[in-house]
Structure 1
Amino acid sequence: MTMPDPSTTARATSADVPRPGHGALTYVIPALLGVNALIMLAAGPFWYATTPGVPQTGPYNGHFVADIGIAFAAASVSLLMGLLPLPQARLFALPGAIFLIGHALLHLLGIVHHGLSDVVAVATEIIGIYLPAWVAWHIVQPELPTLVAMVRAPALVINAGIRAAERRLGVTMDYVRDIARTSPATFGKLQQVSALANRKPHGDPAPFHFAGLGAVVHDDCGECVQIHVNLARADGVRADWLRAVLADQLDDLPAPLADAFRLGRAVAAGDPAMETYRARLQQHYGTATVAALAFEIGIARFHPSLKRALGVARSCTPVSVKVSDG
């Protein structure tokens, strides 16, 4: 069985902390945008005369060059703020990304209509326009689901999204509809939690599913368990392993997966045995993966707690959990 690469898992489970997706280039490009802005503002005629392709756009207009210089300065600051080691800091880069990507699209349209004058102009377009747009996109793209979740959608769209989630998860979600109807702000927060829950680490998904399943088996023996089983099957986790877990026949599982399940259950129960399971998992997978497993356990416990607080939990009621073979 292929185990997750700890270094890969560490990257995947730190999506809320911006990282340079292209190494130093992610920092260099915003900095160069700032330098370009300073030149445009301090030495507009020099910038105009020496930048390939610019003189061909028309006569020099100092006010226009300064305006664009301010736009590049704002884009530079925006992207650099998007790289701060803060949760959802990438959203700071959105204004800069809008300008840079829009600027690149405008230039592409110009190429379609007028073509490029020479090879130097092509290189200038790639380095000065399309590369910054590409870097900006890769800074903001991981946070776009969060941004979408923060936007209040019409009721029709919300209900369609809930129905789609019900089909994917295999259970009804009337309590989510009630939240959306009575407390849109809370529904927005719930969407953000769902976005976090959907960010699965790279590699074998099985240990993460079993860790979460261990927690919900303890916290909720009804619909939340069914959701986790359905999601695990959708990710290719073997049906016989899931049946073994539900029957509490953990000896039928590979030892690391059994320990992942036991860790989730022990954490939910406050069982000191969690220390033993964590130590074995850390020895097998590494520290980064154990951190990812801990995150999965925490996220898995969110919905059972929410449903109990709302008075809609069906914990410990005779809900039959099914494991599909397809």
Structure 2
Amino acid sequence: MYGKFDGLDRLAQALIGLAALMALANGAFMLIDPFGWYDFVGTVKASGPPNAHFIRDIGIAFAISGLLLVYAALNPALRWGSAVVGNLFPTLHGVLHIYEVLVGICSPDIFWRDAPGVLGPAIAVWSAIGIQLARKRVSPVPLPKPLFVSVMQCMVGDAEPYYGDLSKAGGFAVEKFQHAMVLSGHYFHAPKDLIHMARLGSTRAEDCGPCVEIVRGIALADGMDAARLQNALVGKPESDSDALAYEFGAAIASGDAPVAAVLGDRIEALHDRKIRTELTLAAASGRLFPAIKRGLGYASACTIPRLAEHPL
């Protein structure tokens, strides 16, 4: 899920942002005053006489890296791929320094004097990415198609059997689907419990048992109470707000426009238009995955009895 930033998100932002500022500052210095940069960085003199053109070339690399990292720092969960790309040059730069000290080109004294500025930013960015990956708080968008498909098949198995079809569809279908997955996890203004209730109601209205279990699992991972979710699924929501969000999602999924409009107006009156919008997106995304399964002939993997016949 991609809600408001928490403390660890802010830490990841700070780590990437610090690396970005260092790269931009260094790049700007090298571009504007290459000989001044050469004199300022005392250890660089051991590598030979200055060359303004080469210094500016390297400054461009630092500047590009810094810009990519700035972009990533604004939202590490969604833009961690940009952080990876932006961190390639600092990382390889650090690897070069390590290689040179190992083979004797650079003295250990110079290496350790350079280490904070050379290795520090790269380590900071990889640490930030690691924080997000460890929490599974990352967008699937940057993942290459084979890796993404393999990961999803391992995670959901037969519950979502269409990943093989998507991988063969061509036209970057998998990458576009990854963006749809990001939208399905969006919330910012709305309380997360309302988001999960709207998505649960929408998915349940689609009569898709495996999809309901996936949505319930996502809600549990986001801190929702299992009994609370179960009560909503069996038609006994624990609060009026749970009932309102759940029924709103169900009305959207079932195509009941009059009921959806009435419930949406109630949500807007109780909260505001932005929250109604986010609940609408949550409910709409709940229809996507069951619809794909039905369209590709996997209806038997999706259909479950109505609640009145067989409560979950």
Q: Give the alignment of 1:231-250 within 5 angstroms.
A: 231-235=218-222, 237-250=224-237
Letter in 2 for 1:32: A
Q: Give the alignment of 1:131-150 within 5 angstroms.
A: 131=121, 134=124, 145-148=140-143
User: Could you list the per-position Cα deviations for residues 233-255 of structure 1 after superposition, in whole angstroms to 9, with x for gaps in the alignment?
Assistant: 455543432332222223xx133
C-alpha separation in 2, matches of 1:11 and 1:64? 40
Answer yes or no: is the 8 Å Cα contact 1:27–1:80 preserved in 2. Answer: yes
Letter in 2 for 1:272: A
Q: Give the alignment of 1:108-257 within 5 angstroms.
A: 114-116=107-109, 122=113, 125-127=115-117, 130-131=120-121, 134=124, 145-148=140-143, 151-153=144-146, 160-167=150-157, 171-183=158-170, 185-197=172-184, 206-235=193-222, 237-250=224-237, 253-257=238-242
**Structure 1 position 43 matched with structure 2 position 43:** no
- Matched with 1:58 is 47
Query: Please, which of 257, 261, 264 is the counterpart of residue 246 of structure 2?
Result: 261
TM-score by length of 2: 0.68
**Structure 1 position 99 matched with structure 2 position 89:** yes
Partner SS, residue 303 of structure 1? helix
**Structure 1 position 302 matched with structure 2 position 288:** yes
**Structure 1 position 33 matched with structure 2 position 26:** yes
Q: CA deviation at 1:185?
A: 3.0
C-alpha separation in 1, matches of 2:66 and 2:74? 13
C-alpha separation in 2, matches of 1:317 and 1:160? 27
- Matched with 1:3 is none
Letter in 2 for 1:70: I
Answer yes or no: is the 8 Å Cα contact 2:72–2:83 preserved in 1. Answer: yes
Q: CA deviation at 1:213?
A: 0.6
**Structure 1 position 274 matched with structure 2 position 266:** no
Letter in 2 for 1:306: I
Residues 298 and 137 (structure 1), Cα distance of their counterparts in 2 relative to 1, 3 Å cut: farther
TM-score by length of 1: 0.65
C-alpha separation in 1, matches of 2:30 and 2:47? 20
Partner SS, residue 53 of structure 1? helix
- Matched with 2:14 is 22
C-alpha separation in 2, matches of 1:28 and 1:73? 10
C-alpha separation in 1, matches of 2:19 and 2:190? 25
Structure 1, unmatched stretches of 5+, are: 1-7
Q: CA deviation at 1:277?
A: 4.0
C-alpha separation in 2, matches of 1:174 and 1:297? 22
Answer yes or no: is the 8 Å Cα contact 2:208–2:290 preserved in 1. Answer: no
Residues 188 and 218 (structure 1), Cα distance of their counterparts in 2 relative to 1, 3 Å cut: same
Residues 117 and 91 (structure 1), Cα distance of their counterparts in 2 relative to 1, 3 Å cut: closer
Partner SS, residue 69 of structure 1? helix
Aligned residues with identical type, % of pairs: 23
Q: CA deviation at 1:35?
A: 1.5
Partner SS, residue 174 of structure 1? coil
C-alpha separation in 1, matches of 2:166 and 2:279? 28
Moved more, 65-74 or 191-200: 191-200
Q: CA deviation at 1:265?
A: 2.1
Letter in 1 for 2:62: F
Structure 2, unmatched stretches of 5+, are: none
Answer yes or no: is the 8 Å Cα contact 1:82–1:139 preserved in 2. Answer: no
Answer yes or no: is the 8 Å Cα contact 1:215–1:300 preserved in 2. Answer: yes
Partner SS, residue 318 of structure 1? coil
Q: CA deviation at 1:98?
A: 0.9
Residues 166 and 131 (structure 1), Cα distance of their counterparts in 2 relative to 1, 3 Å cut: closer
